[in-house]
Structure 1
């Protein structure tokens, strides 16, 4: 730093003392700067100067490229390549989707907290009531039976309160609600990435805007936020795959002619993969969903019944009709209800049911996507065949060679299509 100061002072003094015209001053400044020894600047050993200098150059280069890209896109929009109104609509949809991602994430955390807090609170109420019933039965035969009525009344109130809370908790299934919002968050993030990709590619039309709007509304319908009125049925009569995608419409034909990446071999391969997914993967997850639903129904009914029975037993402790069985019922039914509540909500059986149902919906969506492309006779309206094959392979966790081997296998009876789930 000491080697630089004299040069800088001389430059300033020479510039201030020079009483010449402006062009001559510029020449003097340039000559003074050029006369500064450059080797001394390179010899300065201050940490981070070279790195920061390179970072500034890199940042300047990135900003220059970004500005040139923006100017180019703006020129395209002015010249008719991209409609600015469509760009504004796409950005509006992108902002709405980003807001929904945050909303579903926050509500997922809230409902997950509901599940843990209600589980702990209800189990605490049940175990406290069972303890009071046991103490009341012992105090009833003691010389001083005064504590027995108070303990009986307290245990009965606790059991009745636990029964009401259990009924509400089993009706709304907080763990299943949290899983629904978790799936919605993931799907809205996926849609957000799709919109970003469309914007970056630049070849979008008003059809893309309508399609993305339909996807947003379909997700809102599949995973509603409110509980009252719009909540999904937690104990349906028939288990069906989750559906979060809209009805597919015919796409506009592409400008590029040809087979669009499709051939007869690829069509046969895609048909066989659809058959395997429908026969093996989707059906297996629906079967698991039905088992989880049956278990959840049993636990949701049995736990409140047991707490209600325990409330009756606690109220009859020490009564003339009590033959010694009331205390046993009050304690045993309460303990068993606590175990069932822990299995149902601690094990998150509702969440498991929703997870299996969503997995079945995932395979259903893939089947619909492939079947829609195969039904479309106009090849230019289809999605590119090579791109679709790669997407299917990635979603199933298989390479392209593995995907073709799966389709070539005779019947595929012993194999599932997916290696991920």
Structure 2
């Protein structure tokens, strides 16, 4: 019995000893755990220090730059320059909004052309069918119903055609597409000016005049402001203020000779002559031809639908014979063909495209002419102007120089063989 008690006591002592060892072992890595938990705090302190350095640097830089900005405010002072810059940003926003407006309205008016054309052709085709059925139907209520329905459809088609021929939806859509492209180009010019230098009051006035000139050249409303779709005199489209170049060049600073020499001046004069004699004249001639075709089609469409409507009313009348049925069907078919040619072929759009192309060449001529009329140090840089003219005409610089050197003032039949300046249109 005593032996068992001694053995139990020994076992209890060994358990207590092992427990104390385990506790000691668990408390041994406590300094390492503390060091490990303090690592995030060190990272936070380091990041805070870097953040303070980062935020304090621009402040000191701005404070150092402020005297330099105040000393380089320009001739009209820092306040005037800041105001001009704010106005320039406002104009850039307005120009971007104009471009989006013209884009959306152009898509809408293109839909007008498609929907109205399909509606008119559908009504005309239905009226032709009814007029043909009325001719073989005999007499009575069915005859009267077919005659009146055909006449009503022809009347509606005639009314819609008169409106379509007046407003020319395809031409309206082309006007808005051109306006959207030109407003986007003006927006890029404004962005480039802001990137290169601080704008002045003259820059603000120039952009405002360009915006107003574009608004006048491509009006948005239809009533009271729409361009005449059948003008008595065809002229190139004009979307720029004529006196803009002279004032712009006056405010610019130019270097001596400014990239100009006698050969370049002669080259620009020759290119100017080719543009006037060939490119602009050709597109004006095409514009006049397309306008004549459009006038004929616009006159014939409503005329044919009107005659078909009158003929369908007299179908079945004894003294009219077969002429009433013939006119009701034949003129309706002709009206469908004419309407499809005019509005499906978008003849008005083609006229506007040729007119705008002539305006493009007219703008190039005015730009070259305005530079040649000034002294060399007040012109646009000659090499830059030569590069722009070559790219606008779709030519390389050697091709442009070859065109100018090989062209002389042709007369008589030789002028007809002269090469066109542009390779794009």
CA offset at residue 252 of structure 1? 2.6
CA offset at residue 393 of structure 1? 0.7
Q: Deviations over 1:338-369 (max 9, x none)?
A: 00000000000000000000000000000000
User: What is the match of residue 415 of structure 1?
Assistant: 419
User: What is the match of residue 287 of structure 1?
Assistant: 285
Contact kept in structure 2, 1:11 and 1:29, CA below 8 Å: no
User: What is the match of residue 342 of structure 2?
Assistant: 344
Q: Sort the Cα spacing of 1:253 and 1:101 in 2 relative to 1 into closer, same or farther, 3 A.
A: closer
More displaced 10-residue stretch of structure 1: 74-83 or 246-255: 74-83
User: What is the match of residue 177 of structure 1?
Assistant: 172
* 1:400 aligned onto 2:397: yes
Q: Sort the Cα spacing of 1:320 and 1:213 in 2 relative to 1 into closer, same or farther, 3 A.
A: same
Between the aligned partners of 1:93 and 1:168, the Cα distance in structure 2 is 36
User: What is the match of residue 377 of structure 2?
Assistant: 380
Q: Sort the Cα spacing of 1:185 and 1:253 in 2 relative to 1 into closer, same or farther, 3 A.
A: closer
Q: Deviations over 1:140-160 (max 9, x none)?
A: 26xxx3300011001001001
CA offset at residue 376 of structure 1? 1.4
User: What is the match of residue 369 of structure 1?
Assistant: 367
Between the aligned partners of 2:339 and 2:354, the Cα distance in structure 1 is 21
> Which residues of structure 2 form unaligned runs of 5+?
1-31, 47-53, 411-416
> Which residues of structure 1 form unaligned runs of 5+?
1-7, 17-24, 31-59
Contact kept in structure 1, 2:407 and 2:418, CA below 8 Å: no
User: What is the match of residue 211 of structure 1?
Assistant: 206
More displaced 10-residue stretch of structure 1: 279-288 or 402-411: 402-411
SS in 2 for 1:330: helix
* 1:79 aligned onto 2:106: no
Between the aligned partners of 2:180 and 2:67, the Cα distance in structure 1 is 33
CA offset at residue 414 of structure 1? 2.4
CA RMSD of aligned residues (A): 2.6
Between the aligned partners of 1:211 and 1:29, the Cα distance in structure 2 is 55
User: What is the match of residue 119 of structure 1?
Assistant: 117
Q: Sort the Cα spacing of 1:74 and 1:186 in 2 relative to 1 into closer, same or farther, 3 A.
A: farther
Q: Deviations over 1:316-344 (max 9, x none)?
A: 00113221110010001001100000000
CA offset at residue 272 of structure 1? 0.5
Q: Sort the Cα spacing of 1:258 and 1:291 in 2 relative to 1 into closer, same or farther, 3 A.
A: same
Between the aligned partners of 1:114 and 1:101, the Cα distance in structure 2 is 20
SS in 2 for 1:252: helix
Note the 1:178-193 alignment, pairs <5 A: 178-193=173-188
User: What is the match of residue 90 of structure 1?
Assistant: 88
Between the aligned partners of 1:134 and 1:105, the Cα distance in structure 2 is 44
Between the aligned partners of 2:420 and 2:373, the Cα distance in structure 1 is 24
Q: Sort the Cα spacing of 1:78 and 1:350 in 2 relative to 1 into closer, same or farther, 3 A.
A: farther
SS in 2 for 1:192: helix
SS in 1 for 2:250: coil
User: What is the match of residue 222 of structure 1?
Assistant: 217
CA offset at residue 262 of structure 1? 1.1
* 1:162 aligned onto 2:160: no
Contact kept in structure 2, 1:123 and 1:338, CA below 8 Å: yes
More displaced 10-residue stretch of structure 1: 354-363 or 75-84: 75-84
Q: Sort the Cα spacing of 1:385 and 1:133 in 2 relative to 1 into closer, same or farther, 3 A.
A: same
More displaced 10-residue stretch of structure 1: 407-416 or 93-102: 407-416
User: What is the match of residue 352 of structure 2?
Assistant: 354
* Structure with the largest fraction of helix: 2
CA offset at residue 27 of structure 1? 10
CA offset at residue 177 of structure 1? 0.1
CA offset at residue 265 of structure 1? 1.1
More displaced 10-residue stretch of structure 1: 342-351 or 72-81: 72-81
* 1:306 aligned onto 2:304: yes
SS in 2 for 1:317: coil
Between the aligned partners of 2:118 and 2:67, the Cα distance in structure 1 is 58
SS in 2 for 1:269: helix
Between the aligned partners of 1:154 and 1:29, the Cα distance in structure 2 is 89
Q: Sort the Cα spacing of 1:329 and 1:9 in 2 relative to 1 into closer, same or farther, 3 A.
A: farther
Q: Sort the Cα spacing of 1:335 and 1:257 in 2 relative to 1 into closer, same or farther, 3 A.
A: same
Q: Sort the Cα spacing of 1:13 and 1:160 in 2 relative to 1 into closer, same or farther, 3 A.
A: same
User: What is the match of residue 414 of structure 2?
Assistant: none
User: What is the match of residue 391 of structure 1?
Assistant: 388
SS in 1 for 2:421: coil
Q: Sort the Cα spacing of 1:168 and 1:97 in 2 relative to 1 into closer, same or farther, 3 A.
A: same
Contact kept in structure 2, 1:281 and 1:416, CA below 8 Å: yes
Between the aligned partners of 2:170 and 2:362, the Cα distance in structure 1 is 24
SS in 1 for 2:308: helix
CA offset at residue 260 of structure 1? 1.0
Q: Deviations over 1:178-220 (max 9, x none)?
A: 0000000000000001000100001532211111111010000
User: What is the match of residue 316 of structure 1?
Assistant: 314
Between the aligned partners of 2:159 and 2:279, the Cα distance in structure 1 is 39
